[in-house]
Structure 1
Amino acid sequence: MVKIGPIELSDFPLLLAPMEDVSDPPFRAVCKENGADLMYTEFISSEGLIRDAAKSVQKLDIFEYERPIGIQLFGSDVQTMGECAKIATRANPDLIDINYGCPVKQVACRGAGAALLQDIPKMVQMTKAVVDATHLPVTVKTRLGWDDNTKNILEVAERLQDIGIQALTIHGRTRAQLYKGDADWTLIGRVKENPRITIPIFGNGDIDSPEKAVEYKNRYGVDGVMIGRASIGYPWIFNEIKHYIATGEHRPAPTVQDRIEACRKHLDFSVRWKGPRVGIVEMRRHYANYFKGLLDFKPFRTRLVLVDTHDEVLSILHEVSEAYEEMYNV
């Protein structure tokens, strides 16, 4: 059993990554149903939360069936991050996570996210401010370093553990790499092997199949893995990995009907939570992923991203079911 403070997880938990514009409650719901053990909100700007910005406040929404769930925060000001942690704590998550890994310009160039990898003393100070501001377990997600010349994750892991974080997730790339090239898990393994490290270490980066999850589990000894992009449109990956670990065999691939049902549940929740207009518009980014690989699906996708009502989307999904019934044994 893996423990994060009082939170008890399975022997090898599978975490859903906090992905901006993806990891909202509707998406989390389908991932939880399909085996995600621990999930996080989209990252929330500390500045936005302090200003009571509507988008940031809405991201605090969590639901009982999601537990355990963490709220992820990012920011560049130590005091503001401490205040933000207090606000997030009142939303009653199971833990608070700090984002020191986001590489995108609008975050890193403002001194937040992965930018803190260039200023370890400030990272330590900020982390302590968050730890001191909440009674909840605090965890961190970060990268190997800023670039190839500053892969300082071994130092970061020790120093953050020393001031009280309860778990660490490491993405196997530097900030300079963004999401390009292959993730390098070698340093993640070295952090896990460090006898000074006693907190759970989770690996992140390029886990896109059951085989890879098992290979990296055995090779690098991590306590669990965090899955991001591979879960978009394919929430079944969590239970597929669990089944493969338990049996050494693959689960049957999701049928077209499975895809339609997951997409419909995602859509229904999106409309309920965001309202009919925003819910429909924001679902448009997901259709290509849910139906990736289906022969001649493009005409259906084109229609799905053009219609404006819930009923119209459901009608097209019904057509998809009928069109692929014989071809894919729905």
Structure 2
Amino acid sequence: MNEIVEAPLRIGSVPLASRVILAPMAGVCDLPYRRIAKAHGAALVCTEMVSDKGLVYHNGHTQEMLQIAKDEHPLSLQLFGADPASMAYAAAAAEEAGADLVDINMGCPVKKVVRNGAGAALLQDLPRAEAIIRAVVQAVSIPVTVKMRAGWDAAHVVAPALAERAEAAGAAAVAVHGRTREAFYSGKADWRVIADTVQAVSIPVIGNGDVVDGPSARDMLQQTGCAAVMVARAAQGNPWIFSQITHYLTTGETAAPPTAWERYTQILAHLEALVAYKGEYIGIREMRAHASWYTRGLYGSAALRERINRTVSVAEFRAVVEEMRRHAAGD
């Protein structure tokens, strides 16, 4: 196992320090959280998915999503769309913004994305998917990756075939989520699809789905032969997971979980970063979700979430968390 972990991993020209990657997640992977994940050991951080049309038409909110901090690198900027030309334009904009990699979303199951032919809809149109990949590869000088699901449904598992097309079109790596679009996030991820994809291509395959700790990351690496693991929902409110998984993979030992005091301290730091980035009104409201994730399993967390959800200012939010932090410290 250690031989797998210690071998250097590169995605195209981009070297990674470990085998643990933050998955792109809408509503989670904004700039403040990416910086937190990077500080906690994520080898690669990925943005929320960015609309190609939003960049083509210079939408203000979409343009803001291109902001990248110096301490985020290496960073992958994920794009979604259904048109090769507009995806190529968006990829060039991503490279100009400073992204180290461009990732193409071919797995998002949400209706508003799929009905426009993007995301998981491309699992039903492999020629168009390949055309998009080829156009993006030709538009940039940085590595291009593709994130996909196993297939549209259990009767149409296409990840290995799509990965072959991606490699032929010039992609530097693919990430495979072992669930179909039909499954959304229910049930258990099918890691056999990831293993089949590894066998189908020579470029790195990143495994995604049900990696929640060191042992599950080890199991995925061993059972599928994938080059790295991508952590999604298990990273919500738990940036420590990146260093914990790396520690387990390299030593076989389970790192101690963060204490309640450490969790509350991280909430306060995250709050300050989010408010500084998005302003008090939006920052507080988005931080409520993060706080609920950070406090899962803590004593009194339900009552704490109720209090936090009533706060309307940074001062109020901070006061509630500070009170709980003092309690956790025994003051």
TM-score > 0.5 by shorter chain: yes
- TM-score between the two structures when normalised by the length of structure 1: 0.95
- The correspondence of residues 82-161 of structure 1 with structure 2, limited to 5 A, is 82-161=88-167
- The correspondence of residues 234-245 of structure 1 with structure 2, limited to 5 A, is 234-245=238-249
Q: Percent identity?
A: 39
2:67 matches 1:35: no
What residue in structure 2 maps to residue 72 of structure 1? 78
Letter in 1 for 2:156: T
Quote the Cα distance in structure 2 between the aligned partners of 1:291 and 1:225.
25
What residue in structure 1 maps to residue 305 of structure 2? 301
2:217 matches 1:213: yes
What residue in structure 2 maps to residue 287 of structure 1? 291
What residue in structure 2 maps to residue 20 of structure 1? 26
User: How far 1:323 sits from its partner (Å)?
Assistant: 2.3
User: How far 1:191 sits from its partner (Å)?
Assistant: 1.7
**Residue of structure 2 aligned with 1:199, choices 196, 199, 203:** 203
**Residue of structure 1 aligned with 2:272, choices 268, 271, 292:** 268
User: How far 1:265 sits from its partner (Å)?
Assistant: 1.5
2:63 matches 1:57: yes
What residue in structure 2 maps to residue 3 of structure 1? 10
Letter in 2 for 1:312: E
Letter in 2 for 1:259: R
**Is the Cα contact below 8 Å between 2:19 and 2:246 reproduced in 1?**
no
**Is the Cα contact below 8 Å between 2:26 and 2:48 reproduced in 1?**
yes
**Is the Cα contact below 8 Å between 1:26 and 1:267 reproduced in 2?**
no
**Is the Cα contact below 8 Å between 1:182 and 1:206 reproduced in 2?**
yes
Aligned pairs, number: 324
User: How far 1:113 sits from its partner (Å)?
Assistant: 0.2
User: How far 1:71 sits from its partner (Å)?
Assistant: 0.7
User: How far 1:99 sits from its partner (Å)?
Assistant: 0.2
What residue in structure 2 maps to residue 222 of structure 1? 226
Quote the Cα distance in structure 2 between the aligned partners of 1:262 and 1:323.
16
**Is the Cα contact below 8 Å between 2:44 and 2:74 reproduced in 1?**
yes
User: How far 1:41 sits from its partner (Å)?
Assistant: 0.7
**Residue of structure 2 aligned with 1:180, choices 183, 186, 191:** 186
User: How far 1:177 sits from its partner (Å)?
Assistant: 0.8
User: How far 1:80 sits from its partner (Å)?
Assistant: 1.2
Quote the Cα distance in structure 2 between the aligned partners of 1:302 and 1:180.
27
Question: C-alpha offsets along residues 58-108 of structure 1, whole Å, 9 cap, x if unaligned?
Answer: 111111101000110001222111111122221011011000000111111
Q: Structure 1 unaligned runs (5+)?
A: none
What residue in structure 2 maps to residue 189 of structure 1? 195
What residue in structure 1 maps to residue 3 of structure 2? none
Letter in 2 for 1:4: I
Aligned Cα root-mean-square deviation (Å): 1.2
Classify the secondary structure of the residue corresponding to 1:98.
strand
Question: C-alpha offsets along residues 226-245 of structure 1, whole Å, 9 cap, x if unaligned?
Answer: 00000000111111111111
Classify the secondary structure of the residue corresponding to 2:230.
strand
Quote the Cα distance in structure 2 between the aligned partners of 1:50 and 1:61.
16
Question: C-alpha offsets along residues 9-61 of structure 1, whole Å, 9 cap, x if unaligned?
Answer: 13x51110110011001111211111100011100011111111122111111
User: How far 1:222 sits from its partner (Å)?
Assistant: 0.7
Quote the Cα distance in structure 1 between the aligned partners of 2:113 and 2:126.
17
Q: Structure 2 unaligned runs (5+)?
A: 1-7
**Residue of structure 2 aligned with 1:47, choices 46, 53, 59:** 53
User: How far 1:133 sits from its partner (Å)?
Assistant: 0.9
Quote the Cα distance in structure 2 between the aligned partners of 1:143 and 1:161.
16
**Is the Cα contact below 8 Å between 1:73 and 1:99 reproduced in 2?**
yes
What residue in structure 1 maps to residue 5 of structure 2? none
2:322 matches 1:318: yes
**Is the Cα contact below 8 Å between 2:20 and 2:242 reproduced in 1?**
yes
Classify the secondary structure of the residue corresponding to 2:320.
helix
Quote the Cα distance in structure 2 between the aligned partners of 1:116 and 1:108.
8
**Is the Cα contact below 8 Å between 1:30 and 1:265 reproduced in 2?**
no
- TM-score between the two structures when normalised by the length of structure 2: 0.95
Structure number having the greater helix percentage: 2
Of stretches 256-265 and 121-130 in structure 1, the one that deviates more from structure 2 is 256-265
2:255 matches 1:251: yes
